Structure 1
Amino acid sequence: MSRSDFPPGYDESRGPLYPPQGGNYPPPPAYGFPAFGGPQPGQPSAPYPTGPNASLFPGQPGGYPPGPYQGQPHSGGPPGAGYPNRPPMPPVMPPIMPSDILSSGDDFAASGSGWDSLSIRHAFIRKVYLILASQLLVTTAIVAVFTFVQPVRNFVQQNQPIYWASYAVYFITHLVLVCCKGPRRKFPWNVLLLSIFTLSLSYMTGSISSYYDTKAVFLALGITAVVCIAVTVFCFQTKVDFTKCQGLFCVLGIVVFVTGIITTIVLSFKYILWLHMLYAAIGAIAFTMFLAYHTQLLIGNRKHSISPEEYVFAALSLYVDIVQIFLFLLQIIGATTK
């Protein structure tokens, strides 16, 4: 039997796995599978495996294209969950009602207090709603700019200290207008303080809106408008007197304020979706009830009413209620549409 009839020995079988091919074809890959990221023989190992596709996608493991979320924060959940800049919580202050702005009576507060004249009552209501319309127009314009103008949107998101500065201005002017009778009733100080208050709260509202999708902002605006119109019409038509429940609304304001502080502290450490949504729902319902209460105080045909000289405070109360309803609805809609 010739030697060719025997199987090749060990020394003879150590040749290349694949024989050389003609036609200038590239040799097949050796062991190590460089196509899957193995190192080439004689080459130092790299921190990321290399392969034939590495020139197409440099810096990627194995030369594969980057994933859809590589290098980006995960965006699961509502705005703020996984984002480098979480939207700040809306400002919440319990509605404060000084005793010197209210008048009361056994039947109607308007009786015998200068409200007998329908012209005085109508003039007061027109003045309050004119001021309120101006405030809402300014706030809507600022929210639109912060939502649609991308450079402004990026600026307010990257400069949150300005938000907290406006929060301080909002807090101080609110306390001055509520607690100080002189500046609240004297022109032009009352109008000046109210303008500063409106601008600060509008900036805060626009900053929060910039973190949400434009669809969520539009839906929140539309629902807020429907709710406010429905509450106003209901208060003008109903015989139910919300002004008799001052103690209940005082407790409700304290509960919303304390709940807001606790929720803000908890969410600053760990985001909990159900807690955020529960707080937003409570806040939206509470400030809807406050809007009904303040509207009936404005009308004057209930047991308690606002004094005719307090048109600035009346406009401030309604304005804060409407803005808070919008912000709470925006949090709910922004989470559900994400």
Structure 2
Amino acid sequence: MMPAGYATKGGYDIEAGVNGGLYPGMMESPQMRWAFIRKVYIIVFIQLFICTAVSVAMYFTPAVKTFMKTPQGLIALICLVILTFILSLVMGCVSNKHPWNYLFLFLFTVAMAGMVGVICVYKKGMPIMIAAGLTALIFVALTLYTFWAASRGSDFSFLGPFLICALLVLTVFGFMRVFIPMGNTGQLIYGCIGALVFSGFIIYDTDNLIKRFSYDEYIAAAACLFSDIINLFIAILNILEGAD
């Protein structure tokens, strides 16, 4: 009797990939790596569910919309961004320490959900739905591509330094937009750069999920992918707003 999740077709293990592994030269057990991958994606989907629930609740609460249009609302958004950044740093230190890793992952998820909810409050409903659909489509497409490319020997670890540099440029550009209004053109450019950068991060982190994350780093892996998805969603929202 075959264990759960073990599918074969004509004696070929579908989950194991090419030549019995997810990528050429794989030395670990494909079944153990697939179990790790499934665990990470389950956590990511739970995070996305929480984020969606919180964002929808905030969007349809009139009091939240009224508050966010005040100076105090802007301060609250800035505090959420800072809190999210602090929680991500703390989570990096406790990602392998149970149960603190789950606690800080939950806090990080709620903080990110609050930040997304605040951003959505300023937007219209249709662009939000379009951005969510495009984000899901791009994430699934890039994930499938990365698994396919990895099974044929491609390695995306070289993207790391380029993505860090691109993220720094994006951050500087974001601060510039706070002090130097750039209009819809600046919004569009910022969104396009962000979408490219975080699409690259999805490929990079998925490749790490397949090859480099250890079995104890499921919290770190889930947090990386969740952050990539949320940031891609925000970038696409910026594109839609800039193109409007």
Q: What is the TM-score normalised by the length of structure 1?
A: 0.60
Is the partner of 2:95 in helix, strand or coil?
helix
Gaps of 5+ in 1: 1-106
Partner of 2:171: 257
Give the conservation status (yes or no) of the 8 Å contact 2:188–2:240.
Answer: no
SS of match in other structure, 2:69: helix
Specify the alignment match of 1:219 in structure 2.
Answer: 130
Partner in structure 2 of residue 140 of structure 1: 52
Q: For residue 106 of structure 2, what is the amino acid of its counterpart?
A: S
Match of 2:30 in 1: 118
Structure 1 equivalent of residue 91 of structure 2:
177
Contact in 2 for aligned 1:157/1:207 (Cα 8 Å):
no
Counterpart of 2:215 in structure 1 is 308
CA distance in 1, matches of 2:26, 2:177: 41
Larger fraction in helix: 2
Q: Secondary structure at the match of 2:123?
A: coil
For 1:256 and 1:279, how far apart are their aligned partners in 2? 7
Pick from 230, 233, 238 the counterpart of residue 326 of structure 1.
Answer: 233
Deviation per CA, 1:32-74: give whole Å up to 9, x if none.
Answer: xxxxxxxxxxxxxxxxxxxxxxxxxxxxxxxxxxxxxxxxxxx
8 A Cα contact 2:135 2:232, kept in partner: yes
Could you give the per-residue CA deviations for residues 119-177 of structure 1, whole angstroms, max 9, x where no partner exists? Answer: 21011111111110011111111221222333332233332322222222211111122
User: Equivalent residues in 2 for 1:81-230 (5 A)?
Assistant: 111=27, 116-158=28-70, 159-178=73-92, 180=93, 183-230=94-141
Alignment partners' CA distance in 2, 1:253 and 1:110: 31
Greater RCO, 1 or 2 (C-alpha within 8 Å, sep 6+): 2
CA distance in 2, matches of 1:147, 1:225: 20
Identity of aligned residues (%): 31
Conservation of the 8 A alpha-carbon contact between 2:185 and 2:242 = no
Shift, 1:277, TM fit:
1.2
Aligned partners of 1:213 and 1:334 also within 8 Å: no
**Is the partner of 1:306 in helix, strand or coil?**
coil
Letter in 1 for 2:131: A
**How far does the alpha carbon of each residue in 1:102-123 deviate from its partner, in whole angstroms, 9 at most, with x for none?**
xxxxx96853xxxx11221011
Q: CA RMSD in A?
A: 1.9
What corresponds to 2:12 in structure 1?
A: none
Give the paired residue count.
Answer: 217
After superposing the two structures, state which structure 1 stretch, 256-265 or 169-178, moved more.
256-265
Question: Which protein shows a greater Rg?
Answer: 1
Partner amino acid, structure 2, of 1:245: L
Match for residue 196 of structure 2 among 278, 281, 285: 285
Q: Deviations over 1:291-313 (max 9, x none)?
A: 1110111012xxxx112211111
Unaligned runs of 5+ in 2: 1-22
Aligned residue identity for 2:186:
L
Aligned to 2:5: none
| 8 Å Cα contact 2:187-2:241 kept in structure 1 | no
Q: Distance in 2 between matches of 1:221 and 1:145?
A: 16
